[in-house]
A and B are shown apart, each in its own frame.
Chain A
Amino acid sequence: RKEVEQDPGPFNVPEGATVAFNCTYSNSASQSFFWYRQDCRKEPKLLMSVYSSGNEDGRFTAQLNRASQYISLLIRDSKLSDSATYLCVVNRADSWGKLQFGAGTQVVVTP
């Protein structure tokens, strides 16, 4: 079983709509959680960190559920520029810098 699992999608979303997707992680010792964005196999870029209480950054909202071991990302008012692959990333407490990446969820925003 992969340590971080994501629905590969694609999630086809009309412009202006809301889309949400989850990521599950298997290691309960996981400590830090992130969403990265990757465009067309370019380099991943940090979208947002995910905090225990949940956090919001503009149109993006991230939630963490430690009991069920998943994190979620919600995108409101989708823009064409939101089309990308979203990578769920987890860092275990015992591996300071060694991130575990999900394979990504593809989002396609259509006009």
Chain B
Amino acid sequence: DAGITQSPRYKITETGRQVTLMCHQTWSHSYMFWYRQDLGHGLRLIYYSAAADITDKGEVPDGYVVSRSKTENFPLTLESATRSQTSVYFCASKVGGQSTDTQYFGPGTRLTVL
């Protein structure tokens, strides 16, 4: 019962490099989300997806790209990493579109951009 996994768990990269964070869930949940968490801020939504091939911007999408060719995968790409993108990134999923549905989070990826 793997649930939702993220890889890598830790990543150090340099400014200007492209980085892809992976998210995989085994529940076949329709909805998936990417958040970033920074000190002093709550989790902020970067992108979300309601189903395969359907994605939309969240609160802080600039500098990020997502894709969802398969229901179980939702990779997040930083096209040209900047220091301000140093953060902890959480992927989440939920089964349906009800506002009351629980979101389940992956373990997070701690990204440092030098």
Instruction: List residues of A whose CB falls within 8 A of some B CB.
Output: 2, 4, 31-32, 41-46, 49, 87, 91-93, 95-104
Contact = CB atoms under 8 A, between A and B. Distances in A.
B21 to A, nearest CB: 14
Interface stretch (B12-20, B60-68, B91-99): B91-99
A31 to B, nearest CB: 5
Contacts of A97: 31, 33, 48, 50, 94, 97, 99, 101, 103
B45 A98 contact: yes
30 contacts: A4-B42, A32-B99, A41-B110, A42-B107, A43-B105, A43-B108, A44-B43, A44-B90, A45-B105, A46-B102, A46-B103, A49-B100, A87-B43, A92-B99, A96-B97, A96-B98, A97-B48, A97-B94, A97-B97, A98-B45, A98-B58, A99-B43, A99-B103, A100-B42, A101-B42, A101-B43, A101-B44, A103-B40, A103-B42, A104-B42
Interface residues of B, number: 28
B77 interface: no
Contacts, number: 58
A106 B88 CA distance: 18
Given A31-B99, A32-B100, A49-B100, A98 B42 contact: no
B90 A91 contact: no
